[in-house]
Amino acid sequence: MSSEREQLLVKSWMTHDARWFNAVAREFGLPAANRINQRAAREMAKVEWQRVGRALGIEQPRDAAGCLAAQQAMIGLLGPELLDYDARVESADVCRIAVKRCFAHENVAKAGIAAQYDCGIFSRIEGWLEGMGFAPQVEPPLKGCLKAQGKECVHTVRLRAS
């Protein structure tokens, strides 16, 4: 698939995601939209990892280094221009992810709802990790948007076998 076609698919998916979130928020309120978005992102990502990981020929990760390599491959396909982040392995079962620029934060800030938004990006990452066979523990918990709170978006992910 050409890069142009991939970008078109990513943009279409992001449009769907934003419109879906907005429709749920209008119908049921932001707290419900946040809960449903996080749950849907996590559950979809489990399947996404299986499909995309298989299509890219990514081996089943066994540790934090393998998980970060898989995550970078996934983001590389699904929209590398959407995030600017640094990730590092701290131990065999712990990695640290620091997001410098995030499309979700930019868009919820434009929509005026950043202060009420709960991060869906890390819910998707949790789903990928669950699809890989891990039970991830993300600190701090995914309540709110750290950038909207004026904090650095830095999360520590601890991996446990599920």
Cα-Cα-Cα-Cα torsion 87, 50, 14, 89, nearest 10 degrees, comes to 0
CB atoms within 10 A of CB 79: 17
pLDDT averaged over 10-residue windows placed end to end, the chain, 162 residues: 80 90 96 96 96 92 96 87 93 96 93 94 94 95 92 96 84
Element (H, E) at 11: helix 3-28
pLDDT at 136: 96
Distance CA 25, CA 82 (A): 23
Q: What is the pLDDT of residue 2?
A: 64
pLDDT digits (tens, 9 = 90+) for 15-52: 999 999 999 999 999 999 999 999 999 999 999 999 99
Do 75 and 61 touch, CB atoms closer than 8 A? no
Domain 3-158 has CATH 3.30.565: no
Q: Where are the domains of the chain?
A: 3-158
| Number of Cβ atoms within 10 Å of the Cβ of 144 | 17
Predicted confidence at residue 3, as pLDDT, reads: 82
